[in-house]
Chains A and B, each alone.
Chain A
Amino acid sequence: MPFDTTILKSLQISKVGKKLPQPLPLRTSPLFTHFERWAGKTRKLLLKEPNHVSMLKSFNFRLNDNPFAHILSSPSRLDRIGKVKLPKQLLIQVKSEIKDKYPSISLNTVVDNSIRDTTSKHSYILNKMNLLEKNLRNIKSILPLHVLSDADIGKKIPHIQFEKDKLLEEHLSKLKELLWDQLSKLPLTEKPITDMSSSSSQIIVTYDKSNSDTLKLNIIKDESMNINKYIITFNLAPINEPKFDELFAHGSKKLNLDQRNHAELILRIYRTLMLIT
């Protein structure tokens, strides 16, 4: 007797018919709803004008007027002697040139704040005279890496001219010359200007032999504006040059500087004082 399949089929259909496939609920993947969790990008807080006014008001550091912020915000490079990464402006740039087939090194007096030289064309050493005199033993320790990775560098090194004392002396005298050129062009005054309305910082340069401090900070608190105003006094006495002494009339004259117009000069003064002391 043949099996009557119709009954079975009707059963099957009714069974399937009970469970008609429901359409899936519309859900967006967390790939889109929580994109920020896995994006792996640099995160920033987004501050908007009407909502976060109180927060934005406190952003009044005026770092561009601050010479120390300029030093600290320079890109960091490895100090070859101390083996520590420091901001560029605290270091001396060592430059190498090819002279008569052999490389020779010289010290740069200016370090620019850009991040362009990533090709290790320069090496860097700490801007500190007494440390260099003590620790700068051979040329190998300060040659830039692209010179050191040269194939026959071993044969070249004995031919490279390297006189430590001469190199450092030349660097120091060059720095003093540059400083003199810039300072002698600027007008000196008997008494400091007390008007500080335009900028939050004021820089005074003196030449005071009786004072041993090279840098002095005076903070003036301004209650109304909630901004710190400050006067930085540099004392050029450690340079110990008679012509500087005459320029400043043996300590009675002063020089007023302003970060916006003389940023480069202020940096040079700080670097020179740091090198000597």
Chain B
Amino acid sequence: MSAIIETKNAISTGNRLFIKNIGKFLLPQTDLNICNDKQYILIHYRRLVRLKPFISQRQMIQNTYIGYLKYKFKYEDFEKRRSLVLGKETSNHISWKTELLQTYNFIMTAVSHVENQSINADRDIIMAKQILKNILTLEYFKIENNERIGHTDFYDYRVQFKQLNGSGNQQDDKGVDFGEFDKVVMYLNETLGTRL
């Protein structure tokens, strides 16, 4: 049991802190179709980076999250990864702008609390948070051994997608683990229209 402390910016309960001024995390009210591609990407990137303290209180996880965002926006060849899982002939039916917006919505879902929410929304929030947590854990494992063995983990798993191509016999144990996880993530992306 603990008291509820309400300040100008936040409401603090026993184990949670609810931030009231959330204007800077939301998308601008203006029509996003007007702005060019670079602006569109930057608008979303900024807001995703601002969500850093909401992802976790631990510095290590926050760093993993920022590293994950940078990788996603700068290096990842999403089409290659997609075609490795779903086959080459399937074409992408959603534009990348919608995918980016959906990804932003997904991460916002994971860090939100809705007042008087329905059970459905509540369930979504819990599951989205858990999924994001698991994805960040795997991201951490993908680059964890970089300094110890070979220095090639970043290149192997995140640029070449070694875990997704080739048969199971050529893979190391870690590669199979990452491969199975990445497949499910890609199926989830297809069904939700996100770009995780």
Contact = CB atoms under 8 A, between A and B. Distances in A.
A46 B7 contact: no
Given A32-B7, A43-B54, A79 B177 contact: yes
Most A CB atoms within 10 A — which of B57, B106, B115, B177?
Answer: B177
A43 B17 contact: yes
B35 interface: no
Contacts of B126: 73
Interface residues of B, number: 66
A149 B101 CA distance: 49
A219 B91 CA distance: 11
B164 interface: no
B22 A69 contact: no
Contacts of B174: 82-84
B90 to A, nearest CB: 8
Interface in A20-44: 32-36, 39-44
B9 A34 contact: yes
Contacts of B15: 41-42
A128 B176 contact: yes
A44 B18 contact: yes
Contacts of A19: none
Interface of B: 5, 7-12, 15-20, 22, 25-26, 53-54, 57, 86-87, 93-94, 101, 105-106, 108-109, 111-116, 120-121, 123-124, 126-128, 130-131, 133-135, 137-138, 141, 168-169, 173-174, 176-178, 180-181, 184-185, 187-188, 190-193
A163 B26 CA distance: 58
Nearest to A135: B173
11 contacts: A36-B7, A40-B57, A44-B17, A52-B26, A61-B128, A76-B133, A82-B174, A82-B176, A86-B177, A131-B176, A134-B169
A56 interface: yes
Nearest to B196: A72
A217 B25 contact: no
A46 B20 contact: yes
B7 A69 contact: no
Contacts of B18: 43-46
A221 B173 CA distance: 38
